[in-house]
Amino acid sequence: TKTIVVSQRNRFFEGDEIEIMQPMKPFIKTTVRELYNENGEKIDCAPHAEQIVTMAAPKPICPGAMLRTG
């Protein structure tokens, strides 16, 4: 499984549906399956602005992509 590292701006949760927007590509809809904090510990929510989290990605995502909750 591919993973992406995200610096989030708004709180989101495991199980949320998100859209991944990349320049010059169609957006991707996916569900947040698992979240990990910057120490690699599993979490169920990314509650803090600018928190760094790692999550599974359905396919390779380009740097600078934006995520939004659906």
For the cut 80, the answer to whether the pLDDT of residue 29 exceeds it is yes
Q: Which pLDDT band holds residue 28 (cuts at 50, 70, 90)? A: very high
7-26 pLDDT per residue, tens:
989 999 999 999 999 999 99
For the cut 90, the answer to whether the pLDDT of residue 69 exceeds it is no
Burial of 28 (0-12, 13-18, 19+ CB in 10 A): middle
For the cut 90, the answer to whether the pLDDT of residue 44 exceeds it is yes
Rounded to the nearest integer, the mean pLDDT of the chain is: 92
CA distances from 27 to 18, 21, 39 (A): 10, 5, 29
CA distances from 69 to 14, 29, 31, 32, 60 (A): 11, 9, 9, 10, 19
Cut 0.95: pTM above it: no
